């Protein structure tokens, strides 16, 4: 059903303020139908607020947001028929069992008792929760809760699924399971809009990514384009003698053909590096020049580095902003 030109989400100049805080400050997004779109940013960047506006839970203060062409403010009922929301806080009822939760949601969506039970059983099976069907959700692990939460969003097979930080706080194994599930959804033709703090996750799942910082989109593109801006990996060196920094940078330029960035703390140098195996060549070059190292490490680019590359500043913990959001909300 999705053609390349259909937009699942289209926002222009979206603004949402909480008191003095401009949580979302002119966000422009366009998400093609049938794709997985990642919104990447640190805590408090405005990711959750953006999703809440798109899911008709918050009214924007300015700008427009369309979901499959329907305005989220003026055509909210139409929008609600097209979306499934899996929030950051588990949006299921802790006191009820997994089955009861799904049956309640299915009944609300208009399924009769028998159909609701069938749908609940089918989804629990699909998400590997059949054994835990009768247990109260309060006894579920974090990962199981997310899975159930996601299952609950899929009862009406929505065309657009919002996943707000679907893997934050999950252990690696559960995270991998969640990725699997998201890929399956995408494979089935759903549009998925997910937020994440992890570059790795956006890279693994998303067709396109928007990097969001302080309420605005600071970069947009495919994960490859994004990573290119920060380098595939980065090499970090600490020199035994900080005085040799210029020589070391020359060596790096000669071997890797990149400009290394000296850090303010003495003797530290960071260099973007596309091929981690070339580190051996560099080590040889450094030894030949008599530059002694105190420490060496190769890092995959982190969100911080993407940020540094794109915005010129580090990701700052902006927890107070998030808290304010909670309080006002």
Residue 104 contacts another protein per CB under 8 A: yes
Cβ closer to another protein: 39 or 156? Answer: 156
Which residues within the stretch 116-145 sit at the binding site for another protein (CB under 8 A)? 118-119, 122, 136
Return the CA Rg of the chain: 23
Q: For another protein, which residue of 58, 124, 206, 306 counts as binding (CB under 8 A)? A: 58
| First-to-final CA distance of the chain | 36
**CA 59 to CA 270: how far, in whole Å?**
43
Decide whether 16 or 227 has the Cβ nearer to another protein.
16
Determine if 92 is a binding residue for another protein (CB under 8 A).
Answer: yes
* 148 exposure class (CB count in 10 Å sphere: 0-12, 13-18, 19+): buried
Neighbours of 63 (CB within 10 A): 17
Find the shortest distance in angstroms from Cβ 159 to another protein.
Answer: 12
What's the closest the beta carbon of residue 7 comes to another protein, in angstroms?
20
Question: What is the pairing mode between strands 36-40 and 191-196?
Answer: parallel
Which listed range, 86-94, 242-250, 290-298, 304-312, lies at the site for another protein (CB under 8 A)?
86-94
> Does 87 engage in binding with another protein (CB under 8 A)?
yes
Q: Which is nearer to another protein, 111 or 252 (CB)?
A: 111
User: Looking at beta carbons only, is 168 or 232 nearer to another protein?
Assistant: 168
The stretch near another protein (CB under 8 A) out of 19-27, 97-105, 244-252, 291-299 is 97-105
- Name, in order, each residue with C-beta under 8 angstroms of 283's C-beta and a sequence gap of 6 or more: 293, 296
How many secondary structure helices (H) and strands (E) does the chain include?
Answer: 12, 14
Place of tokens 């707000």: 164
Question: Per-residue x/- mask for another protein, residues 25 to 54, rule CB under 8 A?
Answer: ---------------------------x--
For 217-244, what is the HEC assignment?
A: EEEEECHHHHHHHHCCEEEEEEECCHHH
Catalog residues that contact another protein under the rule CB under 8 A. 52, 55-59, 77, 80-81, 83, 85, 87-96, 100, 104-105, 107-111, 115, 118-119, 122, 136, 152-153, 155-157, 329
């Amino acid at each position: 059903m999705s053609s390349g030109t259909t937009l699942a989400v289209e926002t222009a100049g979206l603004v949402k303020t909480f008191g003095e805080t401009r949580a979302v400050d002119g966000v422009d997004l366009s998400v093609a139908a049938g794709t997985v779109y990642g919104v990447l940013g640190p805590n408090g960047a405005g990711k959750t607020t953006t999703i809440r506006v798109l899911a008709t839970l918050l009214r924007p203060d300015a700008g427009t947001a369309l979901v499959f062409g329907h305005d989220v403010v003026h055509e909210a009922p139409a929008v609600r028929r097209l979306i499934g929301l899996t929030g950051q806080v588990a949006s299921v009822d802790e006191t009820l069992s997994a089955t009861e939760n799904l049956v309640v949601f299915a009944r609300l969506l208009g399924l009769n008792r028998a159909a609701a039970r069938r749908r609940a059983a089918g989804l629990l099976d699909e998400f590997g929760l059949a054994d835990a069907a009768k247990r109260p959700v309060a006894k579920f692990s974090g990962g199981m809760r997310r899975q159930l939460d996601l299952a609950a969003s899929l009862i009406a097979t929505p065309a657009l699924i919002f996943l707000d930080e679907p893997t934050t706080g999950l252990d690696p194994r559960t995270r991998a399971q969640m990725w699997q599930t998201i890929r399956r959804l995408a494979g089935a033709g759903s549009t998925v809009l997910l937020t994440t703090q992890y570059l790795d996750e956006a890279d693994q799942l998303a067709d396109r990514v928007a990097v969001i910082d302080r309420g605005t989109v600071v970069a947009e593109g495919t994960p490859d384009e994004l990573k290119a801006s920060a380098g595939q990996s980065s090499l970090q060196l600490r020199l035994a003698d900080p005085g040799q920094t210029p020589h070391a940078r020359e060596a790096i330029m000669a071997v890797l053909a990149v400009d290394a960035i000296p850090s303010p703390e003495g003797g530290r140098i960071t260099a973007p590096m596309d091929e981690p195996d070339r580190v051996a060549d560099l080590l040889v070059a450094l030894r030949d020049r008599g530059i002694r190292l105190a420490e060496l490490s190769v890092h995959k680019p982190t969100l911080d580095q993407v940020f540094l590359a794109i915005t010129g500043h580090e990701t700052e913990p902006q927890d107070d902003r998030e808290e304010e959001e909670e309080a006002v909300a």
